[in-house]
Amino acid sequence: MISLNTVKPIVAYREWGFHNLDRPGDIHTEGYNGNIDQTKETTVVEGWALDPLANSTASCVMIQIGDQYYKAEYGKERDNVAEYFQNSTYLKCGYQLEINTQELLSTGSMKVHVISSDSTYQYPPEEYIIQGK
């Protein structure tokens, strides 16, 4: 069981930070606060996350919607991240999770929790506002 209460301070990590959520349609952004297609039954949440304090990938990414936590599929290849940081260790830092769209819309926001490579701490969660279009 991962404790989401143990937090180490985050460090500044170049201009890309340590985490990013991609826009629907795989458009890369510096975070996404915006609209999702409310006509679809599910929404795919995807992005990338690192553990810069350990100079490694994270152990996992948890998506929080309301009081519920969902473990994202972590370890997807992200060539663009490894190339940007010039660190092949970061190649498998992508994550993805399919979520019920109505659950996202009813909550109105979600938080992304990045858990350290050794599972002993997490970075401060990033909150994203969700709206239908």
CB atoms within 10 A of CB 69: 13
Q: CA dihedral in degrees (104, 105, 108, 110; nearest 10)?
A: 10
The answer on pLDDT for 79 being more than 70 is yes
Dihedral sign from CA coordinates of 58, 63, 66, 68: negative
Could you state, in order of their start, the residue ranges of all structural domains in the chain?
19-132
Question: Which CATH code, of 2.60.120.620, 2.60.40.10, 3.50.50.60, 3.40.190.10, is assigned to 19-132?
Answer: 2.60.40.10
11-25, 55-69, 98-112 — which is least confidently predicted? 11-25
CB 20 within 8 A of CB 29: yes
% of the chain exceeding 90 in pLDDT: 39
The C-alpha atoms of residue 85 and residue 112 are separated, in whole angstroms, by 21
